[in-house]
Amino acid sequence: MTTLARKLRLMDYFALAFGTMIGVGWLVLMDDWLGRGGPLGAMLGFALGGILLLPVGYVYGQWVKRLPDAAGEAAYTAQVFPPMVSYFTGWMMLLAYFIVCPWEAVALGKVAAYVFPSLNSYKLYEVAGQPVFLPRLILGIALTVFLAVLNYRGIRLSATFQNWATTTVLLVFVALLGISGAHGRATNLEPAFRAGPFVSILLTLQIVPYFLTGFESVPKVAEESQQDFHSEGFFRAIVIALLVGAGFYVLSVAAVAYVAPWQGLLGKRFATAIAFEQAVGARWPVRLILVMAMFGLFQCFNGNFVASSRMLFAFGRRQTIHPVFGTIHTTFLTPSTAVLGIMAGTLSGLLLGDALLVPVTEVGSMASALGWFATCTSFWLVDKRARMRWLSGLGILVSLLLVLMKVLPVFPGHFSPAEWIALGIWVGLGVLLQRRG
């Protein structure tokens, strides 16, 4: 039987997990983050989220050692739950990865238009009051096709691209922290919270699952590790990516709020770029930020493309959807049909334009937390050792709380009707595609 190519090393797994987390949210949604929590509320929300997710990351590290399967959450829950539960657990997690792909494709045009305003021309139509412009649409299509070709032709090509993008993002980020330290003032951080401390942290914590989704992408490519790769490396990659990713978001909020008065950034597109331009009084930091944003966008898009295509492939291989998605290319040893499927879905989502950006954050956040909850619950039922049960039980509580914060009306920032509709559409699509018997 043909198997996927085995090419990945520890650095590749870290770059995939970190890159799947870090896109351009820190640039295009910084005003939303500060509006939710203020500087300290947002920083504590991301820091607390990263710490609380460590038990979840531990559970994933244990699962992938036992069961290196591209199906991830669907494979883990299948050990203890009925097939229907397993299928829809995986289907929800697929949403968390896949939905980022059109998000990043749309964001490419949004970021590029900041530099080249002429891209905001030739309006084709509107979605929810947001215009869709032809040049920006073409850019998104081009990037989607490029990444599809890259992933179609081999995981080694995709991993090399991911490594370069991640390295560039981290190097430029260190430079931006230096600029913020040199030009910022502590008084810019006042007031520390947007509302009360509890509400500020809570409103930020609600979106943390979406922005930290990615550490659990490692198991989706566990079958593609090099022959001599040690299984402990999966856990190391997960934990390092989770800690570095959470730290990245904490420091990005700190850098922006320190370099410019944060209340003046609310409601501003590209608040991060505006803050640095105001502080330095020149455009060159903006160019540096946009370089970092582009590479961040590339790594996030590619990482989520890899993870979602592997999950779709695993569904086809398990024959829970049409088995054609389980096809492996005989030459490139890639899940070729699944890659084409994710490309087609991304191009369809791209047509929604900017109206996709904010609702996707909310729905993807809940979908991620639901997948974490099911994974931790499965491990709690499988491993009876006291220490393992304590850790997986903590993961259950954390992930369940994150789910409830989005679905219960008693919490500020719960799902809006539009977000419930979006979630319902995805579940309905899963019902239509499910292959019965």
Contacts of 431 (CB under 8 A, 6+ apart): none
DSSP assignment of 86-124, as one string?
A: HHHHHHHHHHHHHTHHHHHHHHHHHHHHHH-GGGS-SEE
At residue 381's C-alpha, the angle toward residues 373 and 231, to 5°, is: 80
Q: Is the separation of the CB atoms in 386 and 53 below 8 Å?
A: no
Say if residue 409 is preceded by a cis peptide, omega within 30 of 0: no
The CA distances from residue 115 to 201, 262, 297, 384, in Å, are 33, 23, 15, 56
Structure tokens at 395: 């993961």
What sign does the dihedral 32-33-39-45 (CA atoms) show?
Answer: positive
Structure tokens at 130: 């947001």
- The DSSP symbol for 356 reads G
Cα 114 from Cα 126, distance rounded (Å):
20
Cα 66 from Cα 58, distance rounded (Å):
13
Q: Give the domain ranges of the chain.
A: 10-433
What sign does the dihedral 338-340-343-344 (CA atoms) show?
Answer: negative
Cα 364 from Cα 373, distance rounded (Å):
14
Query: Residue 269: its pLDDT value, please?
Result: 79
Cα 180 from Cα 357, distance rounded (Å):
27
DSSP assignment of 35-98, as one string?
A: HHHHHHHHHHHHHHHHHHTHHHHHHHHHHHHH---TTTHHHHHTTTS-HHHHHHHHHHHHHHHH
Cα 322 from Cα 218, distance rounded (Å):
25
Quick one: 370 exposed, middle or buried, by C-beta within 10 A (0-12, 13-18, 19+)?
buried
The CA distances from residue 360 to 103, 213, 248, 432, in Å, are 8, 13, 21, 22
Q: Is the separation of the CB atoms in 207 and 361 below 8 Å?
A: yes
Query: Residue 175: its pLDDT value, please?
Result: 93
Q: Is the separation of the CB atoms in 165 and 19 below 8 Å?
A: yes
- Name the pairing type of β-strands 123-127 and 130-133: antiparallel
Q: What are phi and psi of 281, to 5 degrees?
A: 75, 30
- Helix (H) / strand (E) containing 317: helix 284-317
Beta bridge partners of 132: 125
Helix (H, G, I), strand (E, B) or coil at 415: coil
Query: Residue 1: its pLDDT value, please?
Result: 59
Note the CATH number of domain 10-433: 1.20.1740.10
Please report, in tens digits, the pLDDT of each residue of the chain (437 residues total).
Answer: 578 899 999 999 999 999 999 988 888 889 999 999 999 999 999 999 999 899 999 999 999 999 999 999 999 999 999 999 999 999 999 988 998 898 889 888 888 888 788 888 888 888 877 888 999 999 999 999 999 999 999 999 999 999 999 999 999 999 999 999 999 999 999 998 988 888 999 889 888 877 888 899 999 999 999 999 998 999 999 999 999 999 999 999 999 999 999 999 998 878 999 999 988 888 888 888 988 989 999 999 999 999 999 999 999 999 999 999 999 999 999 999 999 999 999 999 888 877 665 566 667 778 888 999 999 999 999 988 887 889 899 999 989 988 888 888 877 767 888 788 888 888 888 888 887 65
